[in-house]
Amino acid sequence: MRQNHPSYPQVALDFMNRDHEEFAALRGKLLDLIDSGTADAIDGLLDELQRHTVRHFADEEKAMQEAGFPVYAVHKGEHDAVLVDMAARIEGWRRERDIAVLRDWLDAAVGEWFVSHVSSMDTVTAGFIAAQRQRS
Ligand SMILES: [Fe+2]
């Protein structure tokens, strides 16, 4: 079965959970559109996914810096790599218009990255920041 709407864990900060839900919904909407053969709205939704991701990463990074998160550079490094890959994939889609390649990227790479990033780095980061906020 295809995982257009995968499950992922909740973390200790509400703003992150809200953003993760929005990201998962946008990815699911894109995959649903591709599956239903409605390619028209794809460009706009891809832009939205990219804008959302840039803004969400910036918010997480700000929260990490404010809390003095010790492995900020590692988490930020993963964000940067994802943004570079996302920009290249979107550019590739605009150039080639290969819907199978786009689908495969969203389905496999993006889906796996999202679940594993939320389960590991985001879970640890949110736990640290939430504990820090409780102390202060
Ligand atoms: Fe993150």
Q: What is the pLDDT of residues 61-97, one digit of tens each?
A: 999 999 999 999 999 999 999 999 999 999 999 999 9
Residue 21 has pLDDT above 60, yes or no: yes
106, 86 contact by CB (below 8 A): no
15, 59 contact by CB (below 8 A): yes
Residue type, 41: A
33 alpha carbon – ligand 1 mean position (Å): 26
Q: What's the angle, vertex CA 50, arms to CA 118 and CA 29, rounded to 5?
A: 75
Radius of gyration over every alpha carbon of the chain, rounded to an integer in angstroms: 16
44 alpha carbon – ligand 1 mean position (Å): 23
30 alpha carbon – ligand 1 mean position (Å): 21
**CA atoms 119, 125, 128, 134: torsion sign:** negative
Residue 9: which region, alpha, beta or left (left: phi > 0; alpha: psi -120 to 50)? beta
Please state, in angstroms and rounded to a whole number, the distance separating the CA atoms of residues 70 and 64.
Answer: 9
**pTM of the entire predicted model:** 0.93
Query: Sorting pLDDT into bands at 50, 70 and 90, what band is 25?
Result: very high
All domains in the chain, ordered by first residue: 14-135 (1.20.120.50)
Please state, in angstroms and rounded to a whole number, the distance separating the CA atoms of residues 96 and 21.
Answer: 30
Residue among 118, 135, 14 at smallest CA distance from 63: 14
38 alpha carbon – ligand 1 mean position (Å): 31
Residue 37 has pLDDT above 90, yes or no: no
The helix, strand and coil proportions of the chain, stated in percent and rounded to the nearest 5, come to 80, 0, 20
